[in-house]
Amino acid sequence: MKIAGWISLHRKVLDNPIVCKDSDHLAVWIYLLLNVTHQERDTVFKGKRITLLPGQQLFGRQAISQCLKISESKVQRILKTFEREQQIEQQTGNKNRLISILNWTMYQNPEQQLNSNLKEVASNQIENTGKSNNKMNNRINDSNAGVSIGYEDINFGSEQQIEQQLNNKRTTTEQQLNTNNNDNKKNNDNNDNNKKSIGLKKCIEDYTNNPAIIESINGFIEMRKTLRKPLTDKALILVFTKLDKLSKSDTEKIEILNQSIMNSWQGVFPLKGDYKLGKSQPNKKPDFKEREYDYDDLERKLLGWDKE
């Protein structure tokens, strides 16, 4: 059960006595966070089709035990503790159990978490500003007997400052979220390219172990990349099938592939013209009959001796 991506691990987890009771409790808690789904997904539980919501997943006590090297009995006790302390909800079945992380959306929804943080910052700043202005009011009242100065008279634009700070924090956090999303997309693209390369390599290994043919195949694959027409696993298998039909030997396969590479063809085709298996056809003699000349007679005519 592997799910790609990342989760948010809030610092408040260190203040949770249930989760931080010991290293095993913390390990099980993080294991649950890492493996629950982050979007709706259909599955089968107790023989019925259900839709998993974000923060839910089917778990097996044995799988958790094997992964974390914790005894199954202790895993059972930890899950019961989490359920009793309202950290999770669980429904048991014959083969597995459906576990729901409570308050999952509160800590794993980036937008909601951002708004929560901003509200907390705003509340603290307003509280601190109020305390500061109260102190100033007290000083003014003490030093000027009978003179009363209101709060609004000494606020000096603190509300605008707070609003500006909140906007700046929101912008910075949103930029960080966008950066993380772009990094995840780039990693996914790289993973897709790596999987594609591994798939093509496996197709080649299944097709031949001839180093010369493998070299020509790799050259054909690179040529297709330069044309921005990269091969899929299925496309490469179709090329191999056609190559087998067009050729009778490994040497001919190499020539057909090299012909496509040289001409930047996207597919493989029969060898063209008289060029077969790397050998050009021998030169043919001219069909016309060569004329015979009497060079002595020609020389006499040129020198004018034939007129004497």
Q: Cα separations (Å) of 72 from 27, 62, 77, 87?
A: 14, 6, 9, 20
**Mean per-residue pLDDT of the chain:** 77
For residues 164 and 227, give the distance between their C-alpha atoms in angstroms, rounded to a whole number: 51
pLDDT per residue as tens digits for the range 229-246: 999 999 999 999 999 999
> How confident is residue 298, by pLDDT bands cut at 50, 70 and 90?
confident
Q: Cα separations (Å) of 258 from 160, 200, 209, 216?
A: 71, 19, 18, 7
pTM above 0.75, yes or no: no
| 92-106, 143-157, 176-190, 286-300: the lowest-pLDDT one | 143-157
- Amino acid 128: pLDDT: 60
Which among 238, 243, 198 is positioned nearest to 216, based on CA atoms? 243
**Which domains are delineated in the chain?**
11-107 (1.10.10.10), 110-190 (no CATH), 208-263 (no CATH)
And the tokens for 138? 């007290």
- Amino acid 154: pLDDT: 40
Instruction: Confirm if 88 and 32 have CB atoms less than 8 A apart.
Output: yes
pLDDT per residue as tens digits for the range 281-293: 455 555 556 667 6
For 165, what's the count of Cα atoms within 13 Å in the CB-facing half-sphere?
16
> How confident is residue 252, by pLDDT bands cut at 50, 70 and 90?
very high
Instruction: Confirm if 258 and 247 have CB atoms less than 8 A apart.
Output: no
- Amino acid 152: pLDDT: 41
Higher-pLDDT residue of 280 and 184 is 184
pLDDT per residue as tens digits for the range 176-226: 666 666 666 666 555 555 555 678 888 998 999 999 999 999 999 999 999
- Amino acid 145: pLDDT: 46
Instruction: Confirm if 254 and 220 have CB atoms less than 8 A apart.
Output: no
Higher-pLDDT residue of 70 and 186 is 70
